[in-house]
Amino acid sequence: MTLTLKHALTAIILVLIFPAPVAAGPLEDYKDALAADTRGDYATALRLLRPLAEQGHAGAQWRLGNAYETGHGVPKNEAEALKWYLLAADQGDGWARYSLGLLYLTGRPSIPQDLVTALMWLILAADDSPAPFTLWVQVRDIATQLMNPAQIAEAQKRARDWKPTSQSPR
């Protein structure tokens, strides 16, 4: 075997044994964003979340909305929080639906209290999500105690008739 052929075979074997590192994919970026958020590194979390959210990742959309609602890493901006929550809720994200329910239940300076809309989102969070939390059911039930039967019926109708409105990928 010639020296050149020997080098070529060695190079091929090395390439096969030690593949080049692969760029992190959406799942890895999301996990890294969650870890950064947990340790309070909001700048890193947002840097990783924003592209995922813009590409339609529902979990990233909810977390970005939550950042705007809480002011973690960005200035508080309820309208921006609402935008990201709606995009995630359109994809069936239970946390986004629950968050929307709370926004409308409590009202904010830029989001007026709307009990019917609040209950609609809380119904969708508690009834249609793959794994609703007991808290979601409890808050939904508390919301009904603040409402009259006509409001409850309207919220239930809206929840039954609800269709996604965004252009997010499903």
As given in the structure block, the two tokens for residue 123 are: 């119904």
SS3 state at 25: coil
Q: What are the domain boundaries of the chain? A: 26-91, 93-162
Quote the CA–CA distance of 155 and 157 in Å, as a whole number. Answer: 5
pLDDT at 166: 57
Helix, strand, coil percentages (3-state) for the chain, rounded to 5, are: 70, 0, 30
Q: Is the pLDDT of residue 23 over 50?
A: no
Q: Is the pLDDT of residue 44 over 50?
A: yes
Predicted confidence (pLDDT) per residue in 65-81, tens digit: 999 999 999 999 999 99
**CATH code given to domain 26-91:** 1.25.40
SS3 state at 108: strand
As given in the structure block, the two tokens for residue 40 are: 């309070």
